[in-house]
Amino acid sequence: MPSCEEVRDERSSYIDGQASLLHRMMLRAHLAMCERCHRAERALRDTVDLLHALEDEPIEEQS
């Protein structure tokens, strides 16, 4: 099972769906047992979801 540090290093690829099946399984097992890592993963996932929900709008130049 990965350590908390390894989970932290792999968290983004896990959330983005880029982790291998083996890594996903190991991360899920760790997250199920480690409340601190689970909360951090949930917070990052919520942040990513909010960013994806924003509409792309052109930035107007200020004079």
Q: Which domain holds residue 26?
A: 4-45
44 in Cβ contact with 12 (< 8 Å): yes
Alpha-carbon torsion, ordered 47, 55, 14, 8, to 10 deg? -30
Q: In this predicted structure, what is the pLDDT of residue 5?
A: 94
39 in Cβ contact with 31 (< 8 Å): no
Residue 30 falls within a domain, yes or no? yes
Q: In this predicted structure, what is the pLDDT of residue 22?
A: 94
In tens digits, the chain (63 residues) has pLDDT values of 889 999 999 999 999 999 999 999 999 999 999 999 999 999 999 999 988 888 777 777 886
Q: How many domains does the structure of the chain reveal? A: 1
Q: In this predicted structure, what is the pLDDT of residue 17?
A: 92
Residue 20 falls within a domain, yes or no? yes
Where do runs of H (alpha helix) occur along the chain?
Answer: 4-15, 21-33, 35-53
Residue 57 falls within a domain, yes or no? no
**Whole-number Å distance between alpha carbons of 41 and 29:** 13
Q: In this predicted structure, what is the pLDDT of residue 60?
A: 78
